[in-house]
């Protein structure tokens, strides 16, 4: 297994996440509050994409775009931290009018969107995937399996990037899909294995499967609708951001991070200041230092504007 460097983080996102933090909530009012640090600007900004940076029509508002550009113009690194693979970053770049570095696939891939280069990838090897498929099929009868792969660029013709077994019911539109026999789906290294069980909740699936995996991989989810995502052990948005911070030459301890779902919990917990959206999953809110306005009410911008205008 080839994994990103940095501390190994074992967690069951959304399964038993707890925190002693008491998050500040402005509930979309935009009311000012003291900067939650010593007054210095964060040295690194990272944000989830869906349900956080973009609105429900997948647009970036003028206010949020202006806030991001203020961050970038100040020389502070701005990074996307998303469950999306590199091939789904281009629409975000277009909306932002800026090509940021990106931590993709829940931390498994570091991607430079400006040069369209995959900088590193942490993968599950074929033998691990085969074992995971066997365990998942036993614990979650009737589940469908798919694998996310990555090449050297966002769209690498040499590498089918999303492969699924017959009967896999896609959770969202995916024109990149290649259907293969199940043994072929798990026959090559992948950055994550997706397990789908329509009719179940993602939490129910994770709670059933995680105990059988013995901490050998990392399990999370970014939707509640019967889909869980499995990555190599220790691979999370937090581990990806630690490695990205090292590449950028900034301490990850200066991070302000934004997110809305259980796959954001590791980075919200690691951040100097972790911000959950008002529309966030309760488990993400529980670990945040603050709850800002929703993704359709410029929640990210409202916080960034405290430091950058």
Predicted pLDDT at 38: 58
CA distance 196 to 212: 17
Fold of the domain spanning 24-121+236-304? Rossmann fold (3.40.50)
Q: Which two tokens stand for residue 105?
A: 């696939």
* Residue 293 near residue 64, CB atoms below 8 Å: no
Predicted pLDDT at 2: 39
Predicted pLDDT at 293: 99
Predicted pLDDT at 24: 53
- Average pLDDT by consecutive 10-residue portion of the chain (309 residues)? 32 37 47 52 98 98 99 98 97 98 99 98 98 98 98 92 95 87 98 97 98 97 96 98 98 98 98 98 98 99 96
Terminal C-alpha separation, the chain? 44
Domains in the chain: boundaries? 24-121+236-304, 126-232
Fold agreement (24-121+236-304, 126-232): no
Task: For residue 146, give the nearest of 85, 195, 106, 200 by alpha carbon.
Answer: 195
CA distance 115 to 221: 29
As a 3-state breakdown, the chain gives helix, strand, coil percent values, each rounded to 5, of: 30, 20, 50
- Could you give the C-alpha distances from 240 to 115, 119, 141, in angstroms and in order? 19, 11, 32
Question: Given this structure, which CATH class describes domain 126-232?
Answer: alpha beta
Predicted pLDDT at 111: 99
Predicted pLDDT at 36: 52
Taking only Cα atoms into account, the Rg of the chain, rounded to an integer number of angstroms, comes to 18
Predicted pLDDT at 172: 80
What residue has token string 């900067």? 35
Q: Which two tokens stand for residue 199?
A: 């009719």
């Amino acid at each position: 297994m080839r994994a990103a460097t940095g501390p190994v983080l074992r967690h069951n996102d959304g399964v038993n996440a707890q925190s002693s933090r008491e998050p500040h909530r402005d509930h979309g009012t935009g009311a000012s509050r003291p900067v939650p640090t010593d007054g210095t600007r964060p040295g690194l900004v990272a944000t989830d994409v869906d349900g956080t940076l973009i609105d429900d029509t997948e647009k970036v508002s003028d206010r949020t775009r202006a806030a991001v550009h203020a961050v970038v113009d100040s020389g502070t690194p701005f990074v996307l931290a998303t469950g999306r693979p590199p091939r789904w970053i281009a629409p975000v770049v277009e909306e932002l009018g800026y090509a940021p570095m990106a931590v993709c696939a829940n931390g498994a891939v570091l991607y430079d969107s400006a040069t369209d280069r995959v900088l590193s990838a942490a993968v599950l090897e074929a033998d691990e995937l085969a074992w995971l498929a066997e365990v998942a099929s036993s614990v979650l009868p009737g589940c469908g399996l798919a694998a996310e792969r990555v090449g050297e660029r966002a769209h690498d013709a040499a590498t089918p990037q999303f492969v699924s077994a017959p009967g896999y019911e896609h959770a969202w539109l995916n024109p990149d899909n290649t259907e293969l026999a199940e043994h072929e789906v798990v026959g090559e290294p992948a950055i994550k294995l997706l397990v789908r069980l329509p009719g179940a909740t993602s939490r129910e699936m994770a709670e059933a499967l995680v105990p059988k995996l013995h901490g050998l991989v990392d399990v999370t989810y970014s939707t509640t609708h019967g889909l869980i995502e499995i990555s190599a052990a220790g691979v999370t948005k937090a581990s990806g951001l630690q490695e990205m911070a090292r590449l950028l030459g900034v301490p990850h301890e200066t991070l302000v991070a934004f997110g809305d779902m259980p796959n954001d919990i590791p980075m919200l917990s690691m951040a100097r200041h972790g911000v959950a959206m008002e529309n966030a999953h309760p488990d993400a809110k529980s670990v945040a230092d603050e709850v800002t306005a929703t993704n359709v009410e410029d929640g990210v911008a409202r916080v960034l504007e405290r430091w950058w205008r």
